[in-house]
Amino acid sequence: MKHRAFRLIILAMVALLSVVPAVYPQQEKKAKPITPITIEMAEPAQKIMGLNFDRAKLDSALENLVEQLEGFEKIRSIALPNNVPPAILFNPIPVGFQFEKAKKSFKMSPPGKVVRAKNIEDLAFYSVGQLAELIRTRTVTSEQLTVMYLNRLKKYGPKLECVVTLTEDLALKQAKQADKEIAKGKYRGPLHGIPFGVKDLLSVKGYKTTWGSVPYKDQVIDEDATVVKRLENAGAVLMAKLTMGELAMGDVWFGGKTRNPWNYKQGSSGSSAGSASATAAGLVGFSIGTETLGSIVSPSTRCGITGLRPTYGRVSRTGAMALSWSMDKIGSICRTVEDCALVFNAIYGPDGKDQTLYEAPFNYDPKVDWKKLRVGYLKMEFDSVRSNKAISDSVLTVLRKLGAQLIPIELPKLPVDGLRIILSAEAAAAFDDLTRSGKDDLMVRQMKGAWPNSFRSSHFIPAVEYIEANRVRYLVIQEMQKLMKDIDVYVTPSFGGSNLLLTNLTGHPCVVLPDGFTKEGTPTSISFIGQLFGEAKLLAVAKQFQDATDYHLKHPKLQE
């Protein structure tokens, strides 16, 4: 009883992250009886939160603590599925920020002469732009590509452990439909007939959406995620639901560990593990991933592929698993920068459901005027690179040769690392029922740094500290705007300093792409960061760098 009472007082001092939606009778659960709270319980409990109230002050607070706990139990009696968001929306917009208003036509690079390889399997590593030209000219059919990629998924997928579910019947149906439409002159655009895969946290009607985790491995969500719908509307062909680390952490899922196609002894990193692995291995034309804190950047780096993490508020998360409502972002993982632009052009913008979305144009033009462009670089992060420094420095050399006048910059000097509790608290709330039910014991990873322990620990984060962290986050957003006023984009080692955490907190877009290889033959990467809602210019600059190098044209040797 004493241990239970101690736990209750701790819970009593933790506030909720969300406002409870309308109550439906069928969702109610029986509230637990309240155990009386005493000073002897409160005194040791407050130390966990770094508090030091004397006994008199604690005595005065006891009645309020009981009332709070009663309120907690009433709220916990309501079943809150993962797709119910909090009635608190994160605002990434700095004071005085102005959106670009005019919407211009999307300008794709000329495809040039694209020749179909004699062996259709040699098309596996063609870019989306190249495949699109072959399909548009009816040099190859969508069905032929689809069958080829399906065969590769079946042949190489098991060793890479990158596939949760093949959507074979759906893919063949969509491919045949695409071919019929194109034959009739109804060409929808560059994604029409292109085979792709999605990270298995996006729902697809008629198929399981497992979130990579044992407790959800048989889950079926009867709706198509907005991103899936938009790609379907663009004529793309869904091939597979690809692996992800359990509940969007790492590369370990309920069926194994997703592999890096460049080195099968390594995991592919995560949590968009299967999306990066399958794309790098030429098992799909492109894929969809998500990022909360590195889940596109990290696996794209490990697998030597190109990824776009868009601005927070750009792509609908309707139909996607929520991990952190104020940090989750959906993006593309592709073979080239312009492929990322093509996919982003199909999926961005409000959908009338996700209330965090903003209406802002995407005016992509691959041309860059280096004389007008202001390119920053995180000098301290480049100087402090320990491994593969020559590779990182070569990026700056390439940019200077292209005509960039590089401006040394520094990130805001605020305690960004302490803001990790924002993600921790929101993730614990998103999976509160999993923790309380004890079903987290079913998850594969159970070490101290894994989700089960993190969720439990995060219940001890006080609401006051969560709010204070978001106030510091506001300051970071304002300071980043001051920095970005003087530059259009900046370049950084992908894991340099606090950049990855900071820009995920502020919502800035990022393009990550290969910039070389280690002595062991595994890929390395560089990251370009753009202004909020500045994906167009960001992608154009990253494309210029990619076109001046050939790292993206190299492919791993696969094992059957």
Catalytic residues: 199, 271, 295
Cα–Cα distance for residue pair 427/73, rounded to 1 Å: 20
- Cβ pair 443, 436 in contact under 8 A: no
- Tokens 């190489």, located at residue: 156
Cα–Cα distance for residue pair 168/255, rounded to 1 Å: 20
- Cβ pair 126, 336 in contact under 8 A: no
- Cβ atoms within 10 Å of 362's Cβ, excluding its own: 20
Amino acid, res. 85: P
Cα–Cα distance for residue pair 553/127, rounded to 1 Å: 10
Cα–Cα distance for residue pair 14/324, rounded to 1 Å: 18
- Cβ pair 225, 241 in contact under 8 A: no
Strand pairing class (252-253; 256-257): antiparallel
DSSP of 139-180? SS-HHHHHHHHHHHHHHHHHHHT-EEEE-HHHHHHHHHHHHH
3-state SS string over 47-68? HHCCCCCCHHHHHHHHHHHHHH
Q: What share of the chain is helix, strand, coil (3-state, %, to 5)?
A: 40, 15, 45
- Cβ pair 417, 498 in contact under 8 A: yes
CA angle 535, 248, 319 (to 5 degrees): 70
HSE-up (13 A, CA, CB side) for residue 250: 16
User: Quick one: angle between helices 463-484 and 499-506, nearest 10?
Assistant: 100
Q: Which helix H or strand E contains 13, and what residues bound it?
A: none
- Tokens 């995180």, located at residue: 378
Q: Which helix H or strand E contains 394, and what residues bound it?
A: helix 389-402
Identify the CA nearest to 496 among candidates 341, 317, 297: 297
- Cβ pair 334, 542 in contact under 8 A: no
Q: Return left, alpha or beta for 294; rule: phi > 0 is left, psi -120 to 50 is alpha, else beta.
A: left
Give the phi and the psi of residue 451 in degrees, each rounded to 5. Answer: -60, -45
- Tokens 């910039």, located at residue: 515
Strand pairing class (163-166; 237-242): antiparallel
Amino acid, res. 125: F
